């Protein structure tokens, strides 16, 4: 069984995240909390998207372009979204070609 730990999620231009935002996942249990409309669900969508989700419906959109920041008060829309997920490989359960790496970074644009 593949077991890796989340270390960091970096989001730029994805849905409501215009500027680069970095979320660290320290050891132990992490929770995403905040008021309605602050982007909690978009964080989960970013995780799904960087891991390869292809279904627009699963990302709560109508078209794949909906994952790109579409503009807000005084903020122009972007033409690209980027999410990078950093995973910690501290138990060697990854495929053979990745066993020498202590961290694995996955980026989707």
> What's residue 4's pLDDT?
85
Helices (H), the chain: 40-50
Predicted model pTM? 0.91
Report all structural domains of the chain as residue ranges with CATH numbers, in order of start. Answer: 5-108 (3.40.50.300)
57-109 pLDDT per residue, tens: 999 999 999 999 999 999 999 999 999 999 998 877 788 888 888 999 999 99
Q: How far apart are CA 84 and CA 59, in angstroms?
A: 17
Q: Taking 80 as the threshold, does the pLDDT of residue 11 lie above it?
A: yes
Q: Kindly compute the dihedral angle of the four CA atoms of residues 106, 102, 100, 90, in this order, to the nearest 10 degrees.
A: -110
Q: What are phi and psi of 45, to 5 degrees?
A: -65, -40
């Amino acid at each position: 069984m593949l077991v890796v730990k989340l270390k960091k999620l970096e989001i730029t231009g994805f849905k409501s995240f215009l500027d680069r935002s970095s979320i660290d996942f320290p050891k132990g249990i992490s929770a995403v909390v905040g008021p309605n409309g602050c982007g909690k669900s978009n964080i989960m969508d970013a995780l799904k998207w960087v891991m390869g989700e292809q279904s627009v419906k699963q990302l709560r959109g109508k078209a794949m372009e909906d994952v790109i920041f579409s503009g807000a008060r005084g903020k122009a829309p972007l033409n690209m979204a980027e999410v990078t997920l950093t995973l910690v490989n501290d138990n060697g359960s990854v495929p053979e070609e990745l066993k020498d790496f202590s961290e694995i970074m996955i980026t989707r644009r």
